[in-house]
Amino acid sequence: MRAVTRDARAIWLTDKISRAGFSDIDSFSQRFELKPFRLTQLYRAATKELAASVDAVTTLPKELRASLAEAGFGFDAVEPVAVQHSNDRQTTKGLFRLRDGSEVEAVLMEHHGDRTTVCISSQAGCAFACAFCSTGQAGYTRNLTATEIFDQARYFARDVAVRGKRITNIVFMGMGEPFHNYDAVMDAVALLNDGQGFGLGSRHITISTVGLVDKIDRFADEGVQVNLAISLHAPNDTLRSQIMPVNRKFPVSELMAACARYVAKTNRKVFFEYVMLRDVNDSDTCAHELARLMAGHLYHVNLIPYNSTPDAPFAGTPDPRIWEFAAILDKAGVPTTVRQNMGRDIAAACGQLRAETQPKAHASR
């Protein structure tokens, strides 16, 4: 296995330093006469201690803090521009602006009990155009850097810390296709996972993909314990190509073969997401077909109630029908769960808040 080790401290410093206009850590260190321990201090203050800003790190000399700030070196690559809470206060949605004006979303879900999950974005927009997805309808703007991804988690980690809580799970289910921005996403995973920094166990991180077969194979070789979720949404090529154009490049049989290779190599379970679209993919026939795809493998199906969006002509399957569909899978021996719906009143599905505030990317070109 070709395990990749990524140096989280170097990833963080390189990204923050380049934002401040420096090409590498050495030239930055020379400019501010920084010893390596100072760089470590900055990294830990931002990622582990979750300090508000460079200026809040009082263990650094005051003049140094001032000159770093002046040079444009800061802890946050994303700026919250709108924060909404669901009526039950369990879901908080943040819209974040990046330096070039692009906007991405992240959602905090505080489940009953001890689970606190953040759903983060890996790209501004998305190139894959899934027919039911608000982000997909808006088109692709650009990749996020590793710290633009990580800082969404940092924002909510600071937010919950005030209430004595910590983030227990991160899912890459916000805007964008994580495997279309592979290296920055894996760098962000290293930042989230670093025991000297943010310190979130890799088993608590999930990457969700539209099913890029070549990247699934690459991911299987990473030697990380991060969970893999596949957005399947349809059990055959005819239907899947209709709602997910990516299927024309990577059809169901190739996708399933890649998942089988992944399990064989890693011995880790694969999660399949299946968004329930009324009269589209919720028939008994679809359930039986899906059950056949899942049979005999280390697979788990997560049925997702659809959050309707104004720009996509789909309706969600009614709850009783979702449970009937689940029962067919269950009877066939497929481990199945139905996703708890959160934040519907604040349009917390992928791309929805941004859709309200920004024009479609292709419309603005």
Region 170-199 residues binding ligand SAH, contact defined as CB under 6 A: 173, 177
Distance from C-alpha of 202 to C-alpha of 92, rounded to nearest angstrom: 23
Q: Compute the least distance from the CB of residue 25 to ligand SAH, in Å.
A: 32
Region 68-97 residues binding ligand SAH, contact defined as CB under 6 A: none
Closest CA to 148 of 167, 126, 121: 121
Distance from C-alpha of 134 to C-alpha of 126, rounded to nearest angstrom: 10
Region 201-220 residues binding ligand SAH, contact defined as CB under 6 A: 208-210
Q: Which residues are catalytic?
A: 105, 350
Check residue 324 for interaction with ligand SAH (CB under 6 A). Answer: no
Q: Using an 8 Å Cβ cutoff, are 90 and 96 in contact?
A: no
For every residue of 137-186, DSSP letters joined together read HH-EEEEPPHHHHHHHHHHHHHHHHTTT----EEEE-SSS-GGGGHHHHH
Minimum CB distance to ligand SAH smaller for 132 or for 219: 132
Check residue 317 for interaction with ligand SAH (CB under 6 A). Answer: no
Collapsing DSSP to helix, strand or coil, 357 comes out as: helix
Site mask for ligand SAH (CB under 6 A), range 265-294, x = bound? --------x-x-------------------
Collapsing DSSP to helix, strand or coil, 312 comes out as: coil
Q: Compute the least distance from the CB of residue 134 to ligand SAH, in Å.
A: 6
Q: Compute the least distance from the CB of residue 341 to ligand SAH, in Å.
A: 9
Q: Compute the least distance from the CB of residue 254 to ligand SAH, in Å.
A: 17
Check residue 255 for interaction with ligand SAH (CB under 6 A). Answer: no
Minimum CB distance to ligand SAH smaller for 134 or for 247: 134
Q: Which residue of 309, 317, 336, 358 would you call a contact of ligand SAH, by CB under 6 A?
A: 309
Closest CA to 146 of 4, 16, 2: 16
Q: Using an 8 Å Cβ cutoff, are 222 and 244 in contact?
A: no
Check residue 304 for interaction with ligand SAH (CB under 6 A). Answer: yes
Region 125-154 residues binding ligand SAH, contact defined as CB under 6 A: 130, 132-134
Distance from C-alpha of 23 to C-alpha of 349, rounded to nearest angstrom: 37
Q: Which residue of 255, 349, 355, 361 would you call a contact of ligand SAH, by CB under 6 A?
A: 349
Q: What angle do CA 214, 217, 218 make, to 5 degrees?
A: 90
Phi, psi of 277 (to 5 degrees): -105, 120
The residue ranges that bind ligand SAH (CB under 6 A) are 130, 132-134, 173, 177, 208-210, 231, 273, 275, 304, 306-307, 309, 349-350
